[in-house]
Amino acid sequence: MNKVRIGIVGVGKWGKNHLRTFAQLPVEIVGVADKDKNQRRAVASFHVPFFTNYKDLLPMADAVTIAVPTDLHYGVAKESLLAGKHVFVEKPATDSAKKTRELVALARAKNLILSVGYLYRFNPAVLKMKELIPSIGKLQYVTMRYIHSIKPPRKDSGAILNLGIHMIDILNFILNERPRRVSCVRANYIHPEREDSAHILLDYGPFFASIEVSSCHPEKKRDVWVVAGKEKVYADLLEQRVVRYPLTVSEQLVRSGPAKEEKIIKKEPLYEQFHHFIEHVAKSEKRPQRRFTNMSEENHHTLRICELALKSAIGGRHYPLA
């Protein structure tokens, strides 16, 4: 089988991670594209062709990965799909659910893969949580944190669309259900238009989930508590650790047992994600398999929840997920 020919569009900080990771995979990197000519020197050690216009790269590739600013995702992804290329685009696929739906329909019509960069779906701690949830009892609530202040906030989106979208996607992935209502409060301490901190509350009916996102917090945390009737499960996504706490609470008594840490083989989610992508591109003579982990249809749901969270933060009320 011939190697998949990959083109990389955007080699800023995260795009360089794309390049580094694909260099470890059995693919042919046919080139990278970035409108900033200075990036040519930054990627020279990989010895791949450099283009300042990504359209010059498209004829050479079977598939492209896109790591440009969010507001450019739609245009680059659409042009690539129209050129008959499979596409991996960093999250969010576009800056609106409507545009994402259009790209999903285009990819489906042309029998192409359109995948979105939700690498936490490939994090072993997230996969372990998904495995455990059916056995830990009736869900009561979930709390999540994506917080840090180790680098300046992004300038193309606020904390909800940049940070919170990962946690919302994790919920969609591990729960296999959507919230009924969305509410949110936010703070704009750094920039008047892009929130730097927010609390998102998702109402699922029998249980709820709360998400804290912040670019101002002194700690760096990506963690989750799943509180259920039989057990409480803690996951540290950075350390790829999962700890189970047997605990039942009633009006009459509290029963608890010793905490148990799950055995997890740590992996690099970005590598796993791209390996998954090229594996399916290589089989693309058939329609994309249903087992694909991060197809673009999922991004539509995730992005829609983010849009409602932003709407709630502005309007001061909750909104049903239609």
The DSSP code for 167 is H
Q: Under 8 Å CB-to-CB from 248, ≥6 apart: which residues?
A: 137, 229, 230, 254, 255, 256
Report pLDDT digits (tens) over 141-177: 999 999 998 677 777 778 998 899 999 999 999 998 8
DSSP codes joined into one string, 121-155:
GG-HHHHHHHHHGGGS-SEEEEEEEEE--SSPPPS
Residue 291: the pLDDT is: 66
Q: Measure the CA angle with vertex 206, ends 138 and 168; round to 5°.
A: 90
The model carries a pTM of 0.91
- Kindly state whether residues 112 and 160 are assigned to the same domain: no
Report pLDDT digits (tens) over 15-53: 999 999 999 999 999 999 999 999 999 999 999 999 999
- Kindly state whether residues 280 and 131 are assigned to the same domain: no
Is residue 184, in this structure, part of any structural domain at all?
A: yes
- Kindly state whether residues 276 and 178 are assigned to the same domain: no
pLDDT band per the 50, 70, 90 thresholds, residue 286: low
Q: What is the three-state SS of 213-241? A: EECCCCCCEEEEEEEECCEEEEEECCCCE
Cα atoms in the 13 Å half-sphere on the side-chain side of 200: 33
- Kindly state whether residues 183 and 212 are assigned to the same domain: yes
Query: Does residue 116 surpass a pLDDT of 80?
Result: yes
- Kindly state whether residues 125 and 254 are assigned to the same domain: yes
- Kindly state whether residues 112 and 125 are assigned to the same domain: no
Which residue in 59, 50, 104 sits closest to 77, CA to CA? Answer: 104
H helices within 44-162, ranges in order? 70-82, 97-109, 124-132, 159
Report pLDDT digits (tens) over 225-270: 999 999 999 999 999 999 999 999 998 999 999 999 999 999 999 9
Is residue 315, in this structure, part of any structural domain at all?
A: yes
Structural domain for 240, as ranges:
121-267+304-320
Is residue 82, in this structure, part of any structural domain at all?
A: yes
Is residue 233, in this structure, part of any structural domain at all?
A: yes
- Kindly state whether residues 202 and 257 are assigned to the same domain: yes
> Tokens 């917090």 sit at which residue?
217
* Residue 1, strand partner residues: none
- Kindly state whether residues 144 and 218 are assigned to the same domain: yes
Domains: count for the chain: 2
- Kindly state whether residues 114 and 212 are assigned to the same domain: no
- Kindly state whether residues 283 and 192 are assigned to the same domain: no
- Kindly state whether residues 247 and 235 are assigned to the same domain: yes
Round the average pLDDT of the chain to a whole number and report it.
Answer: 92
Which residue in 32, 25, 35, 26 sits closest to 7, CA to CA? Answer: 32
Q: Once rounded to an integer, what is the mean pLDDT over residues 274-291?
A: 77
Residue 192: the pLDDT is: 79
CA 272 to chain CA mean position, Å? 13
Please state, in angstroms and rounded to a whole number, the distance separating the CA atoms of residues 111 and 34.
27
CATH number at residue 206: 3.30.360.10
CATH number at residue 87: 3.40.50.720
Is residue 298, in this structure, part of any structural domain at all?
A: no
Query: Does residue 130 surpass a pLDDT of 70?
Result: yes
Q: Once rounded to an integer, what is the mean pLDDT over residues 114-137?
A: 96
- Kindly state whether residues 155 and 82 are assigned to the same domain: no
In the chain, the amino acid numbered 307 is E
Is residue 299, in this structure, part of any structural domain at all?
A: no
